[in-house]
Amino acid sequence: MKKLKRLSFNTKCKLCLLPSLAGTLLFFVIPYFRVLYYSVIDNQFRRNFVFLDNYIETVQNEYFLLALLNSLILIAVCVPVLIILALLISLFLSFGIRKLKALRASFVLPMVIPTAGIVLIWRTVFTDTSTPLPIYLLFIWKNIGICIVLLTAALTAADRSVYEAAKLDGAGSWTLHRKITLPMIAPTILFSVLLSIVNSFRIFKESYLFYGTNYPPDHSYTLQYFMNNNFLRLDYQSLATSAVLTSAVVFLIVLCGIFIQRRYNR
């Protein structure tokens, strides 16, 4: 115990991180390398290396291309709408209507309500499944709470003296938010965007319960359905390959976001 007390604060912090790092290594890093291994062999029994053959076959698969397209459309349509709505509500919570502040806790409810209960209501309200609109609205409603929490926290932490100085110089509300608010919370906006993109790949449970089948309409067939169906068929090579490609897409999106933020901060 005496030796532990003599350790520096940084060393103690590193020791506290060890359990988390061990869990990440055991449950994420090692399994991912195993997935990479499965993606370059012919099957889990013979285990002959085929290198990029599985990737070529998956990229040429029409259902994978359909799933990838639908997943990207979901991101392109829902994430901007989600961030804009969350930003507007956060501005009202921080600068606007006082009565709306009393509803601040209600925006967290979508995160704690059981998914089965949400889908039951959704299936009652939305009977038309000819469009992906129900899934889009479900994604926005499910994830807007965490974005509001993050953006409101960033706005609350903003230095009010900057706004007061800008008002003395004659800046209006639009100029204040465009020239001061948005640049100050830009890192939080980027984080919310990236978090929403990652969450868009986790909408499978809600979509599966809503349609009640492994093969939803073509407009809602996403990468999660493709991987789930390969898992049910015990096609681990296609499953592993599509998982690696999906992680590569997410990684590229995150890199683009970081690049945009660095260019914006210059």
Residue 211 has pLDDT above 60, yes or no: yes
Residues paired with residue 49 on neighbouring β-strands, in sequence order: 41
CB atoms inside a 10 Å sphere around CB 164: 10
For the chain, what are the domain ranges?
2-38, 61-265
Binned at pLDDT 50, 70 and 90, residue 145 comes out as confident
Q: What pLDDT is attached to residue 1?
A: 52
Q: What pLDDT is attached to residue 265?
A: 63
Q: Find the mean pLDDT for residues 80-92.
A: 89
Residue 114 has pLDDT above 90, yes or no: no
Query: Can you tell me the distance from the alpha carbon of 93 to that of 158, in angstroms, rounded to the nearest whole number?
Result: 14
Q: What pLDDT is attached to residue 266?
A: 61
Percent of the chain with pLDDT over 70: 84
Cβ–Cβ < 8 Å for 54, 237: yes
34-61 per-position pLDDT tens digit:
999 999 988 877 888 888 899 999 999 9
pTM of structure: 0.83
Q: What pLDDT is attached to residue 240?
A: 92
The larger pLDDT score, comparing residue 168 to residue 64, is at 64
CATH annotation of 61-265: 1.10.3720.10
Mean residue pLDDT of the chain comes to 83
Cβ–Cβ < 8 Å for 150, 186: no
119-132 per-position pLDDT tens digit:
888 888 888 888 89
